[in-house]
Structure 1
Amino acid sequence: MSAALPRWQALWLIGWERRREGEEPQPDPPEQLAHWRKEGADAEQRVLLRAQARLGERAGQLAPALRRARWALGAVCALIALAGGAGVFTLLGPGERPVNVIWTWLALLGPHLVMLALWLAGLSMGGGAPWSGRSLAALGQRIPGLVPDRAAIEALWDGLRQSGAGRWALSVLSHLLWLSALAGALLGLLLALSLRRYGFTWETTILPAAWFESLVMTLAWLPGLVGLPQPDAGLVAASGEGPVASDLARRSWSFWLVGGLVVYGILPRLVALIVCRWRLQRAVQRLQLPWQQPYYAVLQRRLAPRSTRLGVVDADSVGDSVEQWVMGGVGAGAAVIGLDVPADWPWPPVPGTSRDHGRCESREQRAAALQALTDQPAERLLVVVEAAQSPDRGTLRFIGELAGHCRALALLLAGPDRDRRRDLWRDAAGRRGLDGAVLFVDAEPAARWLSGGAS
């Protein structure tokens, strides 16, 4: 991948272009394909170069979009923290009436504990909900200028789900928002307790008093371990009759509320945030392009063809290196293609061929035929050539490229000189690494051979 981009952003770019194109990649100019093959060290880098070229200026919008998203997230966290602090002031009131400590504790921590329990239960349910990506896309589009377009954020979600990172990303976001609310509530609680005088009590009509006394002492155990002063059994019992008018009682109940918010609220969320952030990083490191999907399989064949140069096998009379070509490992159906076939030669030479790529005389026609075979390799490919022409390096190189997109290759010589020039073509093909190709001089045996790969 590009050294200038983190790996996950590079894969995001590729997924963005895949979303824009749809199920099948659009055709690319031959010169660009050659450039990407030369510049890309592997298939992933070549696909990235293609995505960057096709996206153009839009490829540079990801970094600004990420900055805007961070600022937006920071603003949302700040608003949630302010709301949490304001909610505490509303909950405690102006101090004219006693504060019910049990009701206040439940109001501060009840929703958080319920949602935390639901999140823990949801971990066993696999990846994120299928509507999460659509919801994020709709939310992003409602904020002008936040994301480049809908396809970009949907591509991000597709990539996160592919490695299981989606649920950890949503978990990090959820814990961060809850931490903002709890931190705001803590600051609001400390500010309210510092500026106002409250009396604390607990009340019940039908429940036994001993139950409340046990509940308060149980909840006070963990905060007491970290050194926060907590109400003793006598103060708890006395507060059931009404607020105890002493500074020690007020401080004890205040720290009971503060300790509960810190120990049962902020600390669990902080631990969960750290764990989810760690799991998210590990999942992002496992991100890979899904080569098994048809879109990426076509790109892999197009940008990393199976025909390859294995090295110098021998040298010819003009000093040019000889390439060894290998047949492709995948393909289906039978196909036929003509290279500079004589005008008087009947076409197609084999009637009923499932895929006819026609006569290729120009460079553009050859590139189009090669592109078609790249997108849909053949099981058997019959290449018709004029026997009278010389088996030059350019023609044999192109036939070698075709060999990478079929399981079996055959040459059919056309023209009156085909019997006399059979050995010349066979020797030239063998020297060029195409010795695995079958050579025909008559259309009838070529038709029988080709019918073995008919769809």
Structure 2
Amino acid sequence: MRPLEPPRPSRLQRLWLSETIRLREEHAGPLEDSEIIRHTQAQGGALGERIQTRAWLLGERDGQVQALQHWLQGARLAGLLLVLLAILSGSGLAVAALGDGLRPVNVFWALGSLLGLNLILLLGWALGLLLSRDGAGVLGHLWLWLSAKLARDAQAAQLAPALLLMLQRQRLSRWGLGALVHGFWLLTLLTALLTLLALLATRRYGFVWESTLLGGDSFIALTQALGSLPALLGFSLPDAELIRASGDSALANESARLSWAGWLVGVLVVYGLLPRLGLLLFCLWRWRRGCAALSLDLNLPGYSLLRERLQPSSERLGVCDAAPTQLHQPLAGHNAFDSQGALLVAVELDPQRSWPPALPNSISNAGVIDSREQRKQLLDQLSRFPPARLLIACDPRRSPDRGSLALLGELARSATATRIWLLPPPPGEALDSARLGDWHRALEQLQLVHSDSAPFSWLEHGHD
């Protein structure tokens, strides 16, 4: 049974991680990426695709990909918290609007409770859309803050600024966060509507309007003006006599209660739910349209410096970059290219040792790697023609230093299967048991199979 492959990153995630790596290198300097550059060049593609491939490989190596997944998990959890807040808020708005049913409901106080805060924040969002770059408002920034807090990953702190910076170049953050804000309020008002209907269906409410300064004619005009659009959709509209009579006391007849209840529900739907639904669909449309056109700004200095390295005008052989400060554990068999054949290579052998041993014709010999130039040439060759089986001979009399182990890791990632051959000492010379133990522990940490005897049968035939 084949193991499940991890989900492929979306285009937005690859662009997002590329921007994160660019910001990281601007603040902390270029990352060590010699092996990743070789893999990126081997995969080919346009410059933008190569930059994204390099960024994703660096993210997998250094933990940014895992941090991105943690951030997305935190964003989903923050979204669930906002959904819960919207449901509780909507229920609270409806209960506050109608009260306990023991006293008549002031229709305009109820309408203010249901739509007042929504309309104020909607006006604030519209002003923010005109005056600010993202137009996210308090709710959008609250979601971003919760997402970062719930990610629980130190490296995730770089992701939110990179995402906003990338989206702001295309003015996309206002539409993405705007969709979040309108979705929150749409759910809040929908919950308020359902709660309102449940309360109206299970309790008997009377409706009145009260004012000291305004007369009945003003309330009649206002009520009918607000109810004209809902009436086009079939909601009830109280007539002038009913509105005037409700100014003295709550009418006890059933038709009056039904007329006021229908008017209140219609005003909530038309002036609350439908505008939020329309704005949500508009923001989603602008978001998807903008994401389809989103790309990297290749003129930025961080990307311009990568052009010659990822798309060199000519192939160069030179000195490799310095070894990384932290070795990364390779797994044999992770080569993504077609591989064939068997190859033997030795690393930093004593010149006095006779090498190579007698080999069958089916096994190729790559010689001894002693210099950085030889190392780079071999890795470049293996990136183009990866072997199916690779045997690396090492002298256990030398200490397993960081550079040697890093080279073993890079070589192992170039083959389908890799083994390490710890050579026996010359006749009359004994191995240092402590140093040999260091080799065993280091190779086990790298998850590389090692042997003290020559596994030529495995190298030639693929089995012992």
TM bucket normalised to smaller: 0.5 to 0.7
Other-structure match for 1:280 = 287
Map Cα deviations across residues 60-90 of structure 1 (whole Å, 9 max, x no partner). 4534643552343134213322222123213
Other-structure match for 2:38 = 34
After TM superposition, the structure 1 = structure 2 runs for residues 125-140 of structure 1, keeping only pairs within 5 Å, are: 125=131, 127-128=133-134, 138-140=145-147
Q: 2:92 matched to 1:86?
A: yes
Other-structure match for 1:5 = 9
Query: What RMSD, in angstroms, separates the aligned Cα atoms of the two structures?
Result: 3.0
After TM superposition, the structure 1 = structure 2 runs for residues 73-152 of structure 1, keeping only pairs within 5 Å, are: 73-125=79-131, 127-128=133-134, 138-145=145-152, 149-152=156-159
Map Cα deviations across residues 142-174 of structure 1 (whole Å, 9 max, x no partner). 325489611122222122112110111111111
Other-structure match for 2:191 = 184
In 2 relative to 1, CA 35–147 (structure 1 residues): closer, same or farther, beyond 3 Å? same
Q: Is the 8 A contact 2:148 2:156 kept in 1?
A: yes
Q: Which amino acid aligns with 1:93?
A: G
Other-structure match for 2:382 = none
Map Cα deviations across residues 374-396 of structure 1 (whole Å, 9 max, x no partner). xxxxxxxxxxxxxxxxxxxxxxx
Other-structure match for 2:271 = 264
Other-structure match for 1:226 = 233
Other-structure match for 2:449 = none
Q: Which moved more, 1:69-78 or 1:104-113?
A: 69-78
Task: Return 5+ residue gaps in structure 2 as ranges.
Answer: 1-6, 317-370, 377-464
Q: Is the 8 A contact 1:65 1:148 kept in 2?
A: no
Q: Is the 8 A contact 2:14 2:56 kept in 1?
A: no
Q: 2:161 matched to 1:154?
A: yes
Separation of aligned partners in 1, 2:137 and 2:19: 18
Other-structure match for 2:254 = 247
Q: What TM-score results when the alignment is normalised by the length of structure 1?
A: 0.63
Map Cα deviations across residues 197-254 of structure 1 (whole Å, 9 max, x no partner). 1110001101122111100011111111111122111111111111111111101111
Q: Is the 8 A contact 1:141 1:147 kept in 2?
A: no
Q: Is the 8 A contact 2:70 2:151 kept in 1?
A: no
Q: Is the 8 A contact 1:101 1:202 kept in 2?
A: yes
Q: Is the 8 A contact 1:40 1:49 kept in 2?
A: no
In 2 relative to 1, CA 308–226 (structure 1 residues): closer, same or farther, beyond 3 Å? farther
Q: Which amino acid aligns with 1:15?
A: E
Q: 2:22 matched to 1:18?
A: yes
Other-structure match for 2:59 = 55
After TM superposition, the structure 1 = structure 2 runs for residues 37-436 of structure 1, keeping only pairs within 5 Å, are: 37-56=41-60, 57-63=63-69, 65-125=71-131, 127-128=133-134, 138-145=145-152, 149-307=156-314
In 2 relative to 1, CA 304–25 (structure 1 residues): closer, same or farther, beyond 3 Å? farther
Map Cα deviations across residues 125-153 of structure 1 (whole Å, 9 max, x no partner). 36216998986654323325489611122
- Give the 3-state SS of the residue equivalent to 1:143 in structure 2: helix
Separation of aligned partners in 2, 1:146 and 1:102: 49
Deviation at 1:53, TM superposition (A): 2.1
In 2 relative to 1, CA 68–109 (structure 1 residues): closer, same or farther, beyond 3 Å? same
Q: Is the 8 A contact 1:201 1:243 kept in 2?
A: yes
Separation of aligned partners in 1, 2:255 and 2:179: 40
Q: Is the 8 A contact 2:17 2:56 kept in 1?
A: yes
Map Cα deviations across residues 333-357 of structure 1 (whole Å, 9 max, x no partner). xxxxxxxxxxxxxxxxxxxxxxxxx
Identity of aligned residues (%): 38
